Amino acid sequence: MSATDVMTPSKLKPMPVSQPVELSPKPSLIGLTREEMGAALKEKGVADKQIKMRVSQLWNWIYVRGVSDFDAMVNVSKDMREMLKTHFTIARPEIVEEQVSNDGTRKWLLRFPPRGAGRPVEIEAVYIPEEGRGTLCISSQVGCSLTCSFCHTGTQRLVRNLTAEEILSQLLLARDRLGDFPDREAPQGTIMPAEGRKVSNIVMMGMGEPLYNFDSVKTALLIASDGDGLSLSKRRITLSTSGVVPEIYRTGDEIGVMLAISLHAVRDDLRDMLVPINKKYPLKELMDACRAYPGLSNARRITFEYVMLKGVNDSLEDAKGLIQLLKGVPAKINLIPFNPWPGTNYQCSDWEQIEKFADFINSAGYASPIRTPRGRDILAACGQLKSESERMRKTERLAFEAMMIANHGED
């Protein structure tokens, strides 16, 4: 599909949506560390000597088997299951809507119940299948407190951080819907082999700045990569940041996933305008943090995202500056065609200019894939969904930007 090829929403195949299994204010066991899960069980009277065993049973059922109700846990005693049901939940969020694009891209609009104070929140997750892999794009916040001038999310206020449960639930739900968990009838101990999985990669490139929600993102990603659970390799998880420098160091030390930087400009004056966090953490500090990122090599490179804005950052001078800036950093460059939104003053660079820019970068020895927009039909619907629902229900309705589609990660 070419960059300008937009499928009409009428070609969408709507999928049946699930009913909420349980809409309850009970705390979820999803997204707790082992220690937290153990403490939660202890508080409900589980004997000390049983805790470790119970936690590993639950961990297996929740993350390896992917069950979403306690009754499915056949090797857990009935009394224990009743206790779990009384005090906790492992229900998925409600699927408000599921859409499947002609090219296989899927989008889910999910609603999380309010736990404690507050209102339910809605977010979207997008799945992009490709040759040899499938990438799930995940959100970390509802809205964003940063104000990047070309980003639609940047025009919306931050509603709140997502919890580790809500971040992980996007992955669990996608795996449910794509058949990535073993059948209920499969023998105990069955694990879906990594090669056969539909969701082989995840990218934190949805809504929000993940490094402004560090603790929940860290917990969720460590659970997603836990070898006795979801066991997604850290090399297949990419976290994208606008450049929160202190937390880039922490990401390297404490999470260890692949890093993507929303660069978009190679001069401080321009980046101050496009990505205002640059005023706090200018390019030099950002690049120092990148150079210090642990484990970099030619096989483990940092991705630099660069949105192509017509007449703003797309000259060959900029391309030259980019090569200079990245000198010495194992890097790959993702050129993202700008996805316009109503009210924006920016335009996407001409296709010819994007190609010239890419050629320049390629000739300097960098792979610079231009992100082919995927699932444009769903994206179009994505914008519609948002305004329609805001009119209709006035609940917090959130939509991803083109970035989710245009800018998913790579191996």
**Residue of 94, 98, 122, 124 marked catalytic:** 124
Q: How far is the CB of 19 from ligand SAH (least distance, A)?
A: 31
Structure tokens at 324: 């200079």
Please state, in angstroms and as integers, the Cα–Cα distance from residue 175 to each residue in 28, 198, 222, 275, 407, following that order: 18, 8, 17, 33, 21
CB of 146 to ligand SF4, least distance (A): 4
> What residues have CB less than 8 Å from 60, skipping those under 6 apart?
228, 229
User: Is the Cβ–Cβ distance between 371 and 1 less than 8 Å?
Assistant: no
Q: Which of residues 248-277 bind ligand SF4 (CB under 6 A)?
A: 262
In a 10 Å sphere around its CB, with 0-12 CB exposed, 13-18 middle and 19+ buried, how is residue 183 labelled? exposed
Quick one: tokens of 215? 């603790």
Q: Which stretch binds ligand SF4 (CB under 6 A): 150-158, 193-201, 282-290, 310-318?
A: 150-158
Taking the alpha carbons of 204, 218, 235, 125 in that order, is the dihedral positive or negative? Answer: negative
247: part of which helix (H) or strand (E)?
helix 245-250
Given the residues 382, 396, 401, 410, the one annotated as active site: 382
- Residue among 209, 247, 314, 396 that touches ligand SF4 (CB under 6 A): 209
The conformation of residue 18, written as its DSSP 8-state character, comes to P
- The yes-or-no answer on residue 144 being catalytic is no
Q: Which of 95, 142, 151, 361 is in the footprint of ligand SF4 by CB under 6 A?
A: 151
Name which of ligand SAH, ligand SF4, none residue 361 binds, using a CB cut-off of 5 to 8 Å depending on partner kind: none
Contact flag: residue 144 with ligand SF4 (CB under 6 A): yes
Nearer to ligand SAH, 73 or 151 (CB): 151
Task: Look up 124 and say whether it is catalytic.
Answer: yes
Q: Which of 148, 173, 211, 370 binds ligand SF4 (CB under 6 A)?
A: 148
Q: Which stretch binds ligand SF4 (CB under 6 A): 101-109, 119-127, 151-159, 196-204?
A: 151-159
In sequence order, the 6+-apart residues with CB closer than 8 A to the CB of 134 are: 127, 128, 178, 197, 198, 199, 200, 201
Catalytic site residues?
Answer: 124, 382
> Which positions touch ligand SF4 (CB under 6 A)?
144, 146, 148, 151, 153-154, 208-209, 242, 262
